[in-house]
């Protein structure tokens, strides 16, 4: 069974040599292709006018035209009809020109006098089919790219939803934590007003001290709001160079905002590690892992939360360890499966999204049993190559924030 494109219904021949043009007509007549409409023009200008007004199956192009010589003819023909296949039929036997002609849009390069009529017709049909497949592949590529863009947008929406869900679950905790410094600030200001009404000059020192304490509490409240706002603000993902220790510490402070007095913190940051990441997304990963660790230790006698950053060649590792009951084989098997959770409340997307974020940053995330009991969550990120040398020089140092 022949493909529909086995029959050439319309052909544009761009050839200024009458003898060659006559031979081409005979080729098609001999093949029984009298139904083929063959238009013959002798210049590139005439070819461009014809292509502007008519569709053709294929262009058979000579490179020795009076108004376009060599590769210029290929480029102009391709520009005039980028979706139509072009086969060069030239007397110029030059391998370099042949390669460049193909690069400029031609489907084939044939030499006059070195090809018979049957081979010429086969080459034309193959050229039409190759061009058709190219257009199909291009269309499919555009659809795949559009689907990938849609997938990325949906993924970003899901990540944003997860952040909002996490912050929603922490709303009452944040409200309580904000209330403390704000009420302290109010009390310091009221005390300052009363002291200012006292004519005793010594009262000014007390006012100054009260205002200084009020400032500390206002800054504390502002820092809580800044961290919370950073996690919920919606924006396009963007990568930037950031200090890893600062990213982890900011997320940690937000995650343990109401548990600090209940936890023993064991924190060691390797200094100088710079990463090229979407800062908010990486903080979301840390927030998820820290909250899971804190919740796992609810009711435990030992509530030690250990966090470390470490340089591993051109990667850096962040580990978050708890002293909870650990992971059962059933939970471990589905740990990163979306919408699977062992919690009474929760969507079951936190760890799944964390893995998506880490892998999008070309890292990996794993869970391990902690010696002595508990779980260690580890994830890796590539180090910013431009700052790798400084980080390696500082690798022997540790910043402890216990």
At 131 the pLDDT is 87
Distances in Å between the Cα of 27 and the Cα atoms of 87, 117, 249 are: 16, 6, 79
Residue 132 contacts residue 58 (beta carbons within 8 Å)? no
In a 10 Å sphere around its CB, with 0-12 CB exposed, 13-18 middle and 19+ buried, how is residue 96 labelled?
Answer: exposed
Give 326-382 as a DSSP string: ---HHHHHTTT-TT--SSSSS-S-HHHHHHHHHHHTT--EEEEEPTTSSEEEEEEEE
User: Which residues are CB-neighbours of 331 under 8 A, at least 6 positions away?
Assistant: 342
Tell me the sheet residues that pair with 315: 312, 382
Provide the sign of the torsion angle of the four alpha carbons 163, 289, 345, 304, taken in this order.
Answer: negative
Q: Look at residue 396 and give its three-state secondary structure.
A: coil
Of the candidate CATH numbers 1.10.357.10, 3.40.50.2300, 3.90.1490.10, 3.40.50.300, the domain formed by 4-138 belongs to: 3.40.50.2300
| Average pLDDT per block of 10 residues along the chain, 402 residues long | 57 90 78 69 93 91 92 93 91 90 92 84 87 86 82 69 62 61 77 77 78 78 68 64 91 80 91 88 87 90 94 93 91 79 63 86 93 94 70 53 50
Interhelix angle 117-169/203-232, rounded to 10 degrees, is 150
> How far is CA 372 from its chain centroid?
39
d(CA 43, CA 269): 73
Query: Phi and psi (nearest 5°) for 17?
Result: -95, 110
Query: Phi and psi (nearest 5°) for 309?
Result: -120, 140
User: Which residues are CB-neighbours of 190 under 8 A, at least 6 positions away?
Assistant: none
At 31 the pLDDT is 56
Give 226-257 as a DSSP string: HHHHHHH-------EEEEHHHHHHHHHHHHTT
Q: Quick one: which of 222, 229, 212, 228 has its CA closest to 182?
A: 222
User: Which residues are CB-neighbours of 300 under 8 A, at least 6 positions away?
Assistant: 323, 324, 325
Q: What is the CATH number of domain 236-402?
A: 3.30.565.10
Query: Phi and psi (nearest 5°) for 325?
Result: -75, -10
d(CA 343, CA 298): 13
Count Cβ atoms below 10 Å from residue 40 Cβ, excluding itself: 18
Say how many residues make up the chain.
Answer: 402
């Amino acid at each position: 069974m022949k493909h529909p494109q086995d029959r050439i219904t319309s052909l544009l021949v761009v050839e200024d040599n009458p003898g060659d043009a006559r031979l081409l007509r005979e080729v098609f007549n001999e093949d029984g292709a009298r139904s083929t409409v063959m238009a013959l023009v002798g210049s590139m200008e005439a070819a461009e006018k014809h292509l502007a007004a008519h569709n053709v199956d294929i262009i058979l192009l000579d490179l020795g035209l009076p108004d376009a010589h060599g590769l210029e003819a290929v480029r102009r023909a391709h520009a005039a009809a980028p979706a139509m296949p072009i086969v060069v039929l030239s007397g110029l036997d030059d391998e370099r020109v042949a390669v460049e002609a193909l690069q400029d849009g031609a489907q084939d390069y044939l030499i006059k006098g070195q090809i018979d009529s049957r081979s010429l017709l086969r080459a034309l049909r193959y050229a039409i089919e190759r061009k058709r497949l190219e257009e199909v592949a291009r269309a499919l590529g555009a659809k795949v790219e559009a689907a990938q863009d849609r997938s990325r947008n949906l993924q970003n929406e899901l990540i944003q939803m997860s952040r909002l869900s996490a912050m929603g679950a922490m709303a009452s905790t944040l409200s309580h934590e904000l209330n403390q410094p704000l009420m302290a600030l109010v009390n310091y200001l009221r005390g300052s007003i009363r002291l200012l009404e006292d004519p005793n000059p010594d009262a000014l020192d007390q006012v100054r001290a009260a205002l200084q304490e009020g400032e500390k509490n206002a800054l504390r409240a502002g820092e809580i709001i800044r961290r919370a706002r950073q996690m919920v603000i919606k924006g396009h993902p963007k990568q930037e160079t950031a200090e890893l220790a600062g990213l982890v510490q900011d997320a940690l402070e937000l995650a343990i905002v109401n548990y600090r007095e209940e936890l023993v913190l064991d924190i060691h940051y390797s200094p100088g590690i710079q990463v090229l990441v979407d800062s908010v997304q990486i903080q979301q990963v840390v927030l998820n892992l820290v909250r899971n660790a804190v919740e796992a230790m609810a009711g435990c006698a030992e509530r030690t939360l250990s966090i470390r950053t470490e340089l591993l060649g051109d990667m850096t590792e962040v580990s978050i360890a708890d002293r909870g009951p650990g992971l059962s084989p059933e939970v471990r098997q589905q740990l990163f499966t979306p919408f699977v959770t062992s919690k009474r409340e929760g969507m079951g997307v936190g760890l799944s999204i964390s893995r998506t974020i880490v892998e999008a940053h070309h890292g990996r995330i794993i869970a391990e049993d902690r010696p002595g009991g508990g779980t260690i969550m580890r994830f890796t990120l590539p180090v910013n190559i431009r700052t790798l040398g400084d980080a390696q020089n500082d690798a022997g140092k540790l910043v402890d924030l216990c």
